[in-house]
Chain A
Amino acid sequence: MAFGYNGKILRVDLSTRKISVEEPEEKVYRRYLGGGTLSLYYLLRELKPHSDPLGPENILIFCTSVMSGLTAPGFNKYTAAAKSPLTSGFGESEAGGWWGPELKSAGFDAIIIKGKASSPVYLWVHDDQAEIRDASHLWGKMTAEVQESLRKELGDNRIRIAQIGPAGENLVRYACILNELKHVNGRAGLGAVMGSKKLRAIAVRGKKNIEVFNRESALGIVKQLRESYVDDPSGLGQLGTARVAPILSAGGMLPTKNFITGFFEKAEDIGGKRMKETILTGRGTCHGCFIRCKREVKAEKPYEVDPIYGGPEYETVAAIGSLLEIGNLEAIAKGNELCGKYGIDTISFGTTLAFAMESYEKGILTSKDTDGLDLKFGNHEAMLECIERVARREGFGDLLAEGPEMAAKKIGKGAEKFALHIKGQPLPMHEPRGKKSLALAYAVSPTGADHLENPHDPFFEKEAGLIDIHPLGILDPLPSLDFSTHKVRMFVYLQQYYNWLNSIGMCIFTAKPFGPFPITKIVEYSRAITGWDTSLWEMLKVGERFANMARVFNLREGLGEKDDRLPERLHQPLEGGVLKGERIDPEEFAQAREMYYGMMGWDPQSGVPSKYKLEELDIGWIVPQLSRT
């Protein structure tokens, strides 16, 4: 008997309109758990290398986990995964909210989507059934309108909907997937993959209760956590993720003006505190979570903002705020709303526009190239206009819709050095020059620049800060600016920890060191839910399995050591803020990367996993795929 999961995977072929159900054996669930790891199990088996990411051959997977949908805080994420149109490598992105838990209540742990519909469709999944339905009437519509139409059409207001917007339809390379209009699979361009399949939405509804091995023990753990979480210790609930913008700026680490500096003089104006004092109308949350970090904001003319789209997170206030030297919070909130309406990743859009603004400042782009738009830093009107043009791929927007790497190639004239991306994935809003493990994280992450590879260095500067991660065997504090072998080891351990959390669909804000869930309690909770006699050792092996499977996926596609690099700007000194002069030394970086490869059991020079490591992780079945690289 399966505890914690359904044991059913839904398969949909949009080309043939065939729907089937697979029932994997328990060992598949135990080895791969869910999220990106279970997605890779299918992608490595079924996706041919060198497939066109926007062609019918790409496979798009929505994957929950053996743990998601339960009543504990944070177990609500699902992963969307496919070959990424931004990186041409492994693409994945997680989203919270209610959609993942609802999919499990509808009877399925994951959906594997192949092929391409001949005309727009949506998928309706409910009570162990699924059907492909016509979506011609929804195509081109804004996301809120589609959500309302589908709920009306299907006659149930509690239907949860994951969907793309017009940007995904138009194959904007950083289009996102949203559920409930505000929980976002933002990164890797998976909205474009969904758009290429002419799949506008997946509506889910179910009434099934997930069977749990030991309900009493599981509820006891949740009760303990609830009691231990008093007074919103980090301010995350009251002030949201955006509270950190002024802190990072004061610390010299707020990405500002396309990463030229780490200090933004208007940082207070765009932070969570200011948001609370001005435009905040409510706090939202995800399934089962008492932290309530999500925002709902409302603004009046000239930047009328509808709270149905939530409110900007930290990443957004930085990406379309400080990074562009924009300090107008209402305009940022409007930008956030527009990205929600059209289905655009705010991070990638911001980094792409910052690239364009710097190119404009340097004279590489002129108003002739930008259809007359004055792209100077700080111009929030131009930022808002660009979102619309990108979504519609109109004129200059068509170029920006390609992302910074491809846009820079098209522009030429040395524009590449202002395009801040890794493997094509635009940089997110954290500054590696102030916390060195992040330089390694950005470079080696299989999905390109990703800020969620590991908890960042400042947590671990003092002995007392290490208590939370003692179960991982990390015992020595290290300064944030340290980039020694010890820092690499710390990163390797923390990365496998986060890979495990991603595999079980757990939100990092609920797990230590951010949130209330201690590492060993997550294991205890896993035992109570699944009934497996499992351990932290077994769970971290899943994390390591993920890292190796994603590595092999990328090697098959031709991504390897040459792509594990940083944009040149990060090797240059920060020009402002208290960390002025800090940079990533190229030699130190090269040594750290070699050490990382070696510690992972990969060839220290080429970064190719050894067959022994793959066999040790019980994924010997992917060894033959290494010969295709």
Chain B
Amino acid sequence: MRVKVKVYVDLQRYNPDKGEEFTVEIKEGSRVKDLMQLLQLPEHRVMLILKNERIGKEEDLLVDGDAISFLPVVGGG
């Protein structure tokens, strides 16, 4: 299946050749945490996961066509 991914600025360094928005092929039955592993996103650098514009969790199951955004930790200043 294919999922649409958006990674915000600070997290793009883990996939520098992919840019900000891209599509990923991932096997059926995968969860958000599998996607994070595939993209090598460290969990403590991710502040929030959005799944189809709502707050998502690492345990959420993915389905074909999902749009997943990863927001980096920002903490003031």
Contact = CB atoms under 8 A, between A and B. Distances in A.
A430 interface: yes
A273 interface: yes
B76 A430 contact: yes
B77 A452 contact: yes
B9 A462 contact: no
B77 A459 contact: no
B50 A578 contact: yes
Interface string B52-77: 01110000000000000101111111
A456 B75 contact: yes
Contacts of B53: 578
Nearest to B55: A578
Given A244-B74, A451-B76, A456-B75, A239 B50 contact: no
A532 to B, nearest CB: 29
A3 to B, nearest CB: 30
B76 A247 contact: no
A101 B71 CA distance: 37
A251 B47 contact: yes
A247 B77 contact: no
B41 to A, nearest CB: 12
A464 B44 contact: yes
B10 A234 contact: yes
A465 B54 CA distance: 24
A513 interface: yes
- Which of the listed residues B13, B42, B77 has the most CB atoms from chain A within 10 Å of its own CB? B77
Interface in A419-474: 430, 438, 451-452, 454-459, 461-465
Contacts of A578: 48, 50, 53-55
A464 B43 contact: yes
Contacts of A248: 74
Interface string A500-511: 000000001100
A314 B77 CA distance: 8
Contacts of B76: 430, 438, 451-452, 454-456, 508
Nearest to A507: B77
Contact of A273 (B9, B13, B73): B9
A462 B71 contact: no
Query: When A and B form their complex, which 5 residue pairs have the shortest distance between CB atoms, in order from nearest?
Result: A464-B44, A462-B44, A456-B75, A465-B44, A456-B76
15 contacts: A247-B71, A250-B8, A251-B47, A251-B48, A438-B76, A451-B76, A454-B76, A455-B75, A456-B75, A459-B73, A461-B73, A463-B44, A508-B77, A514-B77, A578-B50
Interface of B: 8-10, 12-13, 42-45, 47-48, 50, 53-55, 69, 71-77
